[in-house]
């Protein structure tokens, strides 16, 4: 299963970031990858989290913990 998760991530990264951009410098590549990573980790819905964003998932967990 871990390889499946890794392959899924790599496919998303390749399709959404690497295939979309022709980098002219290492600094440009780092900036684009950092921006993609921030979007992926905070703004993009993930099916493994019930199709909500990681930030929404984190807030949901905090609220559930407070309610318990």
pLDDT in tens, 21-36: 899 999 999 999 999 9
Tell me the C-alpha distance between 18 and 14, whole Å. 5
Q: Contacts for 12-18 with beta carbons within 8 Å, 24 or more apart? A: 12/40, 13/40, 16/40
- Supply the pTM of this predicted model: 0.71
Hey, which residues does 53 pair with through a beta bridge?
none
pLDDT in tens, 38-67: 998 888 898 888 899 988 999 999 999 998
Token couple for 6:
């890794």
């Amino acid at each position: 299963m871990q390889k499946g998760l890794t392959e899924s991530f790599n496919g998303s990264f390749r399709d959404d970031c690497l295939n979309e951009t022709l980098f002219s410098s290492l600094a440009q590549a780092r900036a684009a990858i950092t921006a993609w990573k921030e979007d992926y980790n905070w703004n993009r819905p993930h099916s493994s989290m019930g199709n909500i964003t990681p930030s929404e998932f984190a807030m949901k967990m905090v609220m559930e913990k407070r309610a318990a």
